[in-house]
Amino acid sequence: MSMRKFEDTYQHKGLRKQLVQQLREKGITDENVLEAINNLPRHFFLDSAFDKIAYEDRAFPIGEGQTISQPYTVAYQTQLLQIKKGDKVLEIGTGSVYQASVLAQMGAWVYTIERQKKLYEKHKSFVFKTKYPNIKFFYGDGFEGLPTYGPFDKIIITAAAPFIPPKLIEQLKINGMMVIPVDEGNAQRMLRITKLPDGTIKEESFEQFSFVPMLAGKNG
């Protein structure tokens, strides 16, 4: 296997600016989200074969039948979470580590879980390991969350959930928010759940998206 050479050229940076402009036109307004995406070389998270198309607003395969989310989806979920510097965030579905890196770039403390052993193992050669010491990687089942590390200010689920996992609600702080795409047949409705001071939850419903399924148990 040859060493991958990571280069962020003027061409990449130009394409990234265009992508950010597209995200603005599609309705993303959180400047911190747009800045993080503008600063993050998405092509580093993909096989070099995707180098020229890495800044198209599309999902791409990352192996094991999984995908890196579409930039619009990443921006949309991150915007709904209202990320603030210092937020403690749990992510379900590490995948390519792109979403986790957007959160880390915004100053969050990220705890990310992946159920596919092969994808989890890739964190060992993660290109931004020293740049983002604020990302912690876990191999496990997202339905269980990380009870010993919670509660969290924010929780983001990046796979299609069949239902809202009760254990994740338990691991959310009071006034904390969870953004989760929940199954509706072929598509998923993006929901934002807020945990209220009396322990009940408020549910807001947003656009429809299409994610790979959130599966129970570990694989590998």
CA distance 180 to 164: 8
Q: Which of 2, 48, 69, 125 is catalytic?
A: 69
Does residue 71 belong to the site contacting ligand SAH (CB under 6 A)?
no
Out of 34, 68, 135, 191, point to the residue binding ligand SAH (CB under 6 A): 68
Kindly give, in sequence order, each residue whose CB lies less than 8 Å from that of residue 213, ignoring residues fewer than 6 positions away: 159, 160, 162
Element (H, E) at 168: helix 166-170
Q: Annotated catalytic, 69?
A: yes
Nearer to ligand SAH, 107 or 140 (CB): 140
Torsions phi, psi for 169 (to 5 deg): -60, -40
Least gap, CB of 136 to ligand SAH (angstroms): 14
Q: CA dihedral in degrees (213, 217, 218, 220; nearest 10)?
A: -90
Dihedral of alpha carbons 27, 32, 35, 36, sign:
negative
Does residue 123 belong to the site contacting ligand SAH (CB under 6 A)?
no
CA distance 134 to 88: 10
CA distance 193 to 81: 10
Retrieve residue 98's tokens.
Answer: 């792109």
Out of 77, 78, 79, 158, point to the residue binding ligand SAH (CB under 6 A): 158
CA distance 35 to 168: 29
CA distance 218 to 164: 19
Least gap, CB of 67 to ligand SAH (angstroms): 5
Does residue 215 belong to the site contacting ligand SAH (CB under 6 A)?
yes
Out of 119, 155, 182, 193, point to the residue binding ligand SAH (CB under 6 A): 119
Nearer to ligand SAH, 67 or 105 (CB): 67
Retrieve residue 72's tokens.
Answer: 């619009």
Does residue 78 belong to the site contacting ligand SAH (CB under 6 A)?
no
Does residue 66 belong to the site contacting ligand SAH (CB under 6 A)?
yes
Does residue 171 belong to the site contacting ligand SAH (CB under 6 A)?
no
> Of the ranges 6-14, 19-27, 90-98, 126-134, which one interacts with ligand SAH (CB under 6 A)?
90-98
Nearer to ligand SAH, 53 or 196 (CB): 53
> How many of the other CB atoms lie within 10 Å of CB of 216?
12
Does residue 212 belong to the site contacting ligand SAH (CB under 6 A)?
yes
Retrieve residue 84's tokens.
Answer: 């603030």
Does residue 43 belong to the site contacting ligand SAH (CB under 6 A)?
no
Residues with a known catalytic role: 69
Q: Provide the binding-site residues for ligand SAH, judged by CB under 6 A.
A: 66-69, 92-93, 95-96, 98-99, 113-116, 119, 141-143, 158-159, 212, 214-215
